[in-house]
Amino acid sequence: MKAVTTTKKLWRKPLDADKAKQPQAEIYIIKDRCKGCGYCIAFCPKEVLEESEEINARGAHPPKVKDISKCAVCGYCMAICPDLAIFVKEKTDTKKEAEKDERKE
Amino acid sequence: MVVETTHPLDMYLRETGMHHIWCTGCGNGILLNSFVTALKELELDLDKIVIVSGIGCIGRIAGYINTDSFHTTHGRPIPFATGVKLSNPELKVVVISGDGDLFAIGGNHFIHAARRNVDIKVICVNNFNYGMTGGQQGPTTPLNISTTTTPYGNIEHPFNLVHLAAGSGAVYVARWTTLHVRRLTESIKKALQKDGFSFVEVISQCPEIFGKSTKMGLPVDFMNWFKRASEIQHFSDPAKAEITSDRIPLGEFVDIEKPTYEKLLRERIIQVQNKMQGGA
Amino acid sequence: MSEKNRALSGKHFYSGDLACAEGALAAGCRFFAGYPITPATEIAERMARRLPQLGATYIQMEDEIASIAAIIGASYAGLKAMTATSGPGFSLMQENIGLAVMTEAPCVIVDVMRGGPSTGQPTMAGQQDVMQAKWGSHGDYEIIALAPSSVQEAFDLTVEAFNYAETYRVPVMVMMDAIVGHMWEKVVIPPLEQISIKNRKKPTVPPSEYMPFKPDKDLVPPMAVFGEGYRFHATGLTHEEDGRPRTESIKVQQRLVQRLCDKIRKNSDKIVKMKPVMMEDAEVAVIAYGIESRAALSAVRKARNAGIKAGLLKLVTLWPFPEKQVAEIAKSVKTIIVPEMNYGQLVREVERAAKDTPVTFLPKLGEEPHKPEEIFEAMKGGI
C-alpha cells in the first residue's frame, strides 16, 4: 500500500533543537486485530511504520516499525486505528519500569 | 516493537461483544476508538452512561461499549433515549446512529428532540449511504452519485445536517471527519458535558460499500478526500455548510445555552406541587 | 401530593378513559408518553394533569411511534410506563410492540377502539382491533390483552395490566371500546394498601454474573435496569441469554422465540380471566367482551325469563385466548353465540376452540352495540 507522506521540510533548525528531548517510544501492535487499512502507516507524521510481510489471522498485513527512534509518541496511530490494534507508550526512565515493560517477542 | 494482546482502552469495551464486525478501514471503528477515548479522558462513571443505537452498521456499537446499552428498531433511538433520560435524569444518554437511521426514518424524532432540547447527545456517523444493506442512497448521498438504488445517478439533494440540527434548536452542533479524530474526541467530550441536545456529525468512510459508488476503493483514498476537501472554520454559518466533493466544512457551528426540557419539567412540577400544597 | 396519595381513593363518577388513567396512577405508573387521538385523548389529558402532581413525567411525543419507543425506554430506566391510543395509532405502534416483546419490556398500551379501518369513524365505537392486538406486529409472539366492560373495570383492569406487564415482562394491551371509554359510571377506588400491586423481579446475582435474558423457572428473566451497574445490552435482534446478538444461529432463534411465546402460553392458566354467569346448566352460551357483554347479560336474563337455559361467558382477557375453557364449555352446550362490534374477529378463536359445536356470529358495524333483543332473537333461533 502506497504511503502518503506528510512530513514537512523545515527551512531552519528550531532554536531549542539541542534542548529538546526525543521521547523514547514503545509501540505495541496487537497483530491479530489488524485489518490492514493502512491508516497508521499512511498518516504517521514521522513515517515510523510500514507494512509487514507477515499475514495475520484475518489475512491482513499488520504494520511493523521501520525506525522506532523517529517516533515522537504523538499517538495518532493509536487514535486513528479502527480496530484498536496499535498503541504507543512513552518509555519511562526508571530501570524498574523498563524491566516491567520488557516482553519477549 | 512489542507484541501485545490487550489495549489500554479494552476496559471500555465489552469482552462478549468484540471484535467488531466492521470492514477494513471503516469509520465506525474510528468513532468507537474516539468515543471510548473521550470516556476515558473525562473519567466518567460507566455505570451512569446509556448508549442507544439504531439500525445500521453503526448500530452494533451499542453491543461493543462496556455500559448499559440498547439497540432499538430502525429510526427510533432518539425517542427511546428521551424516555430513558426523562425517567432517570442522572443518566448520561448518548445516541449513536447513522445518517439514514437518524434522518430518513428517524428524521421526525430528531427535529422534535432538538426542538425540546432534551438533554441527550446524538452522534451521527454519516457515510453517505445505507452501508449495511449494500449501498443504497440515503438522505445525505451527494447528487449524481450512483448507488444500488440510484443506478443512473442520484437526483436528490442531500441534507445539510449541521443546518438541520442548528435550525431544529440543538444547543451544540459540530462536524468532524474521522481523519480529524482528536478534534472529534474533543467535540464528543464537550457534547458529553454540555446541558441540552448536542449533535456531533462524523463524516465517515465506508470503503467497502460507498467505495464502490465513488470509486474510492481503498480506505486511504477516503482519508485523502477528507484531507483535501476539509475546511475548518468555527462558528461559520450552518446554512452554508453543505458538503461537496471539493469542500467539507468542519468545526463547531453552534454552542449556545438554552433551558433543557428536564429543567423546565422540573420547575413546572415544583410549581404545580407548591400550588397544591398552598391550596390544600 | 406524594406517592402514597397517588390513588384517589373513594367513590367517583368517571368516564372509562378517566378511570383508566386513575388505574394506571394507582398501579404506580410514573411515565406517560402519548399523542392525541379520538377517543383516547382524555387519558393523555388526565395524565398531563395528574402526573406532575405526583412529580412524574407526562410528555406528548411527536407521533405514536415515538410514544411507544419512549415508554419502552422509560421501562428500561425502571419506571412503569403507559401510552394510550386508538386504531390508527395502534397500527403505528406495532413495530415497537415487537421490540417490547423481544426485549421483554414491561409496558401498558391502551387502545380505545373506534370504527375502522383507516381513519374510519373516529367518534364511533368498534371492537375491530382485537385480532390486531395479538397479530399486529410481525413474527411469532404472545401478548396479554384485557377488555374492560365497565368504568369500574377500566380502573381495575388497568391496574391488572400493569401487574401482568411486570410479572411477565411483556407489553399488555387494554382493549377498551370507545363506548366504555366515553361512558360515565360510578367507580370505587380502594385505599392504596388494598390494591394489589406487582413489581418486576430484580436480579439476585452481582453484575458480573448477570445475564439479562436468562429466565427463571417461570420463563421470565429478572430485570435489571439502566444505571444500576449491570451494564447489560438489549437488542431487538435475536439474542443469546447474555444479550449478545446472534443473527446466524438456528438454535438461538428456536430457543428465544419459543420461550417468548411459552412465557405466556405455559402460564395461561394463571393469566386467563373470565366471568361466567349462569353457565352451570346452560344450553345456549353467549361469549362476549367489552360493551357487548353488557347487552349479552341483559339478553341472557331475558332468555332465562323465557325459559331458555342461557348463560354468558364474559371474556376479561382476550389474549391469551381461553381455548381450554371455551372447548370445555362447547362440550356441554348446544350452541354458542358470539356478538361482536366487528365483522368477525374473536369469533374465529371461539370457532376454533368449539370445534363441532355450532357457533353463531352476530356482527355489528357502526357505533351501537347489539340491543339485548337482537341477541335474544338469535338465542331463540339457535335452539
Low-confidence ranges of chain C (pLDDT < 50): none
CA distances from residue C44 to C84, C189, C206 in whole angstroms, order as listed? 7, 20, 39
Which residue in C14, C371, C27, C375 sits closest to C197, CA to CA? C27
pLDDT computed for residue A99 by the predictor: 53
Chains with 3 or more CB pairs closer than 8 angstroms to C? B
Chain B residue with minimum CA distance to A60: B24
pLDDT computed for residue A3 by the predictor: 45
- Grid look-up 333461533 returns C381
Q: Would B144 be classed as within a structural domain?
A: yes
Distance from C-alpha of C108 to C-alpha of C29, rounded to nearest angstrom:
9
What chain C holds in terms of domains, given with CATH numbers, is 3-194 (3.40.50.970), 276-382 (3.40.50.920)
What chain A holds in terms of domains, given with CATH numbers, is 25-101 (3.30.70.20)
Categorize the per-residue pLDDT at A94 as very low, low, confident or very high, splitting at 50, 70 and 90.
Answer: low
Q: Does B269 touch chain C (CB under 8 A)?
A: yes
pLDDT computed for residue B80 by the predictor: 98
Categorize the per-residue pLDDT at B263 as very low, low, confident or very high, splitting at 50, 70 and 90.
Answer: very high
- Grid look-up 469495551 returns B13
Q: Compute the CA torsion angle C142, C121, C370, C323 (nearest 10 deg).
A: -10
Asked if A30 lies within 8 A of B6 by C-beta distance, the reply is yes
Categorize the per-residue pLDDT at A103 as very low, low, confident or very high, splitting at 50, 70 and 90.
Answer: very low
Which residue in C24, C40, C11 sits closest to C156, CA to CA? C24
Number of domains in chain B: 1
SS3 C234: strand
- Tens digits of residue pLDDT in B152-189: 999 999 999 999 999 999 999 999 999 999 999 999 99
Asked if A35 lies within 8 A of B24 by C-beta distance, the reply is yes
Size of interface B-C (CB pairs under 8 A): 143
Asked if A81 lies within 8 A of B29 by C-beta distance, the reply is yes
Q: Compute the CA torsion angle C131, C132, C138, C139 (nearest 10 deg).
A: -30
Categorize the per-residue pLDDT at B83 as very low, low, confident or very high, splitting at 50, 70 and 90.
Answer: very high
CB-nearest to C59 from B80, B86, B269 is: B86
- Retrieve residue A39's grid coordinates: 491508516
Q: Does A35 touch chain B (CB under 8 A)?
A: yes
Q: Would B99 be classed as within a structural domain?
A: yes
Buried b / exposed e over B115-143, threshold 16 CB at 10 Å, is ebbbbbbbbbbbbbbbbbeebbbbbbbbe
Distance from C-alpha of B128 to C-alpha of B151, rounded to nearest angstrom:
15
More confident residue, B270 or A94: B270
Under 8 Å between Cβ of A75 and A31: no
pLDDT computed for residue B276 by the predictor: 87
Contacts of C17 (CB under 8 A, 6+ apart): C39, C40, C42, C43, C46, C84, C112, C154, C181, C182
Query: Which 235-264 residues of chain B touch chain C by CB within 8 A?
Result: none
Give A100→chain B minimum CA distance, Å: 12
- Name C312's bridge partners: C277, C286
- Domain of residue B32, CATH code: 3.40.50.970
Q: Would B67 be classed as within a structural domain?
A: yes
Categorize the per-residue pLDDT at A21 as very low, low, confident or very high, splitting at 50, 70 and 90.
Answer: confident
SS3 A28: strand
Categorize the per-residue pLDDT at B279 as very low, low, confident or very high, splitting at 50, 70 and 90.
Answer: low
Under 8 Å between Cβ of C374 and C304: no
The 10 Å Cβ neighbour count of residue C352 is 13
Q: Would B186 be classed as within a structural domain?
A: yes
CB-nearest to B71 from C31, C75, C237 is: C237
Cα B183 to chain centroid, rounded:
15
> Is the pair B, A in contact (3+ CB pairs within 8 Å)?
yes
Asked if B16 lies within 8 A of C242 by C-beta distance, the reply is yes
The lowest-confidence range among A18-32, B104-118, B165-179, C100-114 is A18-32
pLDDT computed for residue C316 by the predictor: 98
Mean pLDDT of chain B: 95
Cα C237 to chain centroid, rounded:
25
- Asked whether residue A104 carries a pLDDT value surpassing 50, the answer given is no
Chain C positions touching B86 (Cβ under 8 A) are 31, 57, 59, 70, 74
Under 8 Å between Cβ of B92 and B44: yes
- Tens digits of residue pLDDT in C35-45: 999 999 999 99
- Asked whether residue B280 carries a pLDDT value surpassing 90, the answer given is no
| Phi, then psi, of A74 in degrees rounded to 5 | -75, -25
Asked if A36 lies within 8 A of B24 by C-beta distance, the reply is yes
More confident residue, A19 or A6: A19
Laid out side by side, the sheet with C335-340 consists of: C274-277, C310-315, C284-288, C335-340, C359-363
Which residues span the domain enclosing B259?
10-279
Contacts of C351 (CB under 8 A, 6+ apart): C359
Residue C31's H or E segment, with its range, is strand C29-34
